[in-house]
Structure 1
Amino acid sequence: MDGSIPHIRGKTEPAQRYRKRNEYRTLLLMLIPGLIYFILFHYLPMYGVVIAFKDFKITEGIWGSDWVGFKYFLKAFDDPQFYVVIRNTLLISFYKLLFGFPAPILFALLLNEVTRVRFKKIVQTISYLPYFFSWVVLGGIVISIFAIDGPVNGLLGLFGVDPVLMLGDDRYFRSVLVVTDVFQSFGWNSIIFFAAIASIDHQLYEASIIDGASRFKRAVHITIPMLSPVIVIMLILKMSHILDAGFDQIFNLYNPNVFHVSDIIDTYVYRKGLTEMQYSYSTAIGLFKSAVAVVLVVSTNYIVKWVGGKDHTLW
């Protein structure tokens, strides 16, 4: 009998695996388009980063160009403009993280307290809409709103404030970037928090109501603690984009008057790579940015684990 158990287990395990694959066949097929997308547009192009270590010439191709090692990395570190770009990227990203990360959480918490289902759905739908407009469209709207004769300056004029071209003034440009970015993304980013709130056991709320807890206390002592794993994971993922200050947005809104406060890594790479055709130099800067993003994600994940949030980390 003892000898027959491994024999039975060996025959049943492949059958169980086959049944599981067959059971999730539809879901596995749905993964195929996504996998193809990532393979074609994210993994296959990765071989091109080798030109960061070469003196790339179009006529000679990637493998025919001469190796130069870290020449273009050193060139970037010797360029004063590179440090201005790094500073602008970090400042804009920090402001967007500071104001943009809590916004969808707060929005989800407030809308969760609304009892009228129809009103809640209408507000959610309206909040999602800006996300589906490209920055080419939104940029035109923002430029019109903040123009000299736009509604913002018209409103300020009622209080005796002189008109200001906010998109051409370095004192206001970053503030406009942050405000418009939050407006465009907070509704869409709140979806995951709505889903997390919906998964909270309602018996917890019922017990707290019996104990006399107000809505505010229920949000503070139940909703927010139950959301903390999702919040931490989203924060870790956000750290990987700390050097992505928003190319589409800035490219459609900035102008020479505000270059010194709005030129970020992505716009700098675009200008050096596509406009000035310094392909190796721009690739080196892009690779540096990716390396920093990996370090930030790993560091943030480690810090969260170290302070006691082991169950809330990515790995």
Structure 2
Amino acid sequence: MQDEVVPVGRNLPVQPHATNSERIRQQKRFKQNIPWLLMFLPVIAYYVVFKYIPMGGNMIAFKNYNFTDGVWGSPWTGLHNFKLLFTDPIAFKTIRNTFVLAVLSLVANFPFPVLLALMFNEVRKLWFKKTVQTLMYLPHFLSWVIVGGLAVTLFAQESGTVNHLLKQFGVEAYPFLYKPLSWMGVFLGSGVWKEAGFAAIIYLAALGNIDPSLYEAAGLDGAGKLRQIWHITLPGIRSMVVLMLILGMGRIMDVGFDQVYNLQNPIISDVSEVISTYIYRVGLQGGQFSLTAAMGLFEALIGLVLILITNAIARKFGHGLW
């Protein structure tokens, strides 16, 4: 008589005690984390209410929206609004201006926080370091209305402080805010002044994770400050730099409404009209909600594509987000 073949695992003994202990351990862990979960609920509610639910409004980009029929009752138009968007010369110029200003802002704003963090890291006088850090952080908390007012006060053609100093040296006043190149310089400079100090906090936190013994070993080997920064400090914050670059690429088409609106004027509208001001002027003031919704959706898609491309490149070097 042939022996009966017993499938593997059929007659293995059940371990109820192990299962129960694991369940008890999970329940205990959940109860311990209840305060943290409750603290996280407002964050979830914020993103659900103000970020995810409004995404449903993007459907008006594919409709001829009007107040009478509402979002759901307005007739569908398919890709008609996108066709209008890319055939309108003003809209095309707006997209071009947004891309140019965004790339210049990324190039100008990205290295300054890193340089500030490196300089703060080398300062040994604590009182001086804290004083300078505070002065550099403060502009972040100022409204763009204030920063724009300061820029106008400094660079106005007739009453500006800079032109007043130029006149003292016999130089003719220059219309900084009415020439495209100089206006872009003021735009970029005000952005760096306002945000560089606060952004440096992130890199300072990353610098705190570098092992001090590496600097001591490099010093014993005869490496100076510059070599220590190049071979120890910069590689130590490389992951954070890549992370901030990926996040910055996602916002590359989002120049921002406040800064542009407070600095622009009709004379330089050929370079200062960006997507955010276009949506305000054409959408809110002009009532073309579907057209500007298509513009906003296009902006979001470009940001998504740039994030995916940048992350794919970073992942090849072992620094991707996912």
Q: Please give the TM-score of this superposition, normalised by the length of structure 2.
A: 0.92
Matched, 1:31 2:40: yes
Structure 1 residue aligned with 2:321? 314
What amino acid does structure 2 have at the position aligned with 1:183? W
What's the CA shift string for 1:226-270, capped at 9, x where partnerless? 110110011001000110112110011101001001101111111
Change over 3 Å in CA distance of 1:224–1:245 after alignment to 2: same
Counterparts of 1:236 and 1:313, CA distance in 2: 9
Q: Secondary structure at the match of 1:171?
A: helix
Matched, 1:18 2:22: no
Structure 1 residue aligned with 2:212? 202
What amino acid does structure 1 have at the position aligned with 2:29? K
Structure 1 residue aligned with 2:55? 46
Higher Rg of the two aligned structures:
2
What amino acid does structure 1 have at the position aligned with 2:194? Q
Structure 1 residue aligned with 2:5? none
Structure 1 residue aligned with 2:71? 62
Confirm or deny: 8 A CA contact 2:98 2:275 kept in the other structure: yes
Structure 1 residue aligned with 2:6? none
Q: Secondary structure at the match of 1:280?
A: helix
Confirm or deny: 8 A CA contact 2:123 2:129 kept in the other structure: yes
Structure 1: unaligned runs, 5 residues or longer? none
* Structure 1 position 157, deviation (Å): 2.8
Structure 1 residue aligned with 2:175? 165
Worse overlay, 255-264 or 78-87: 78-87
Counterparts of 1:105 and 1:249, CA distance in 2: 23
Change over 3 Å in CA distance of 1:113–1:51 after alignment to 2: same
Counterparts of 2:109 and 2:193, CA distance in 1: 9
Counterparts of 1:202 and 1:19, CA distance in 2: 39
* Structure 1 position 46, deviation (Å): 1.0
Structure 2 residue aligned with 1:117? 126
Counterparts of 2:34 and 2:215, CA distance in 1: 38
Q: Could you say what the CA RMSD is over the residues aligned between the two structures, in angstroms? A: 1.6
* Structure 1 position 28, deviation (Å): 2.5
Change over 3 Å in CA distance of 1:39–1:160 after alignment to 2: same
Q: Which runs of 4+ in 1 moved over 6 A?
A: none
* Structure 1 position 156, deviation (Å): 2.6
Counterparts of 1:268 and 1:152, CA distance in 2: 31
Aligned partner (choices 279, 301, 305) of residue 295 of structure 1: 305
What's the CA shift string for 1:87-110, capped at 9, x where partnerless? 111111111111110000000001
Aligned partner (choices 237, 252, 265) of residue 275 of structure 2: 265
Q: Report the identity percentage.
A: 40
1:111-260 matched pairs, under 5 angstroms:
111-148=120-157, 149-260=159-270
Counterparts of 2:28 and 2:163, CA distance in 1: 66
Counterparts of 1:196 and 1:19, CA distance in 2: 34
Change over 3 Å in CA distance of 1:9–1:155 after alignment to 2: farther
Change over 3 Å in CA distance of 1:188–1:156 after alignment to 2: same
* Structure 1 position 276, deviation (Å): 0.3
Q: Secondary structure at the match of 2:95?
A: helix
Change over 3 Å in CA distance of 1:36–1:81 after alignment to 2: same
Counterparts of 1:171 and 1:121, CA distance in 2: 36
Q: Secondary structure at the match of 2:75?
A: strand
Worse overlay, 108-117 or 147-156: 147-156
Aligned length: 311
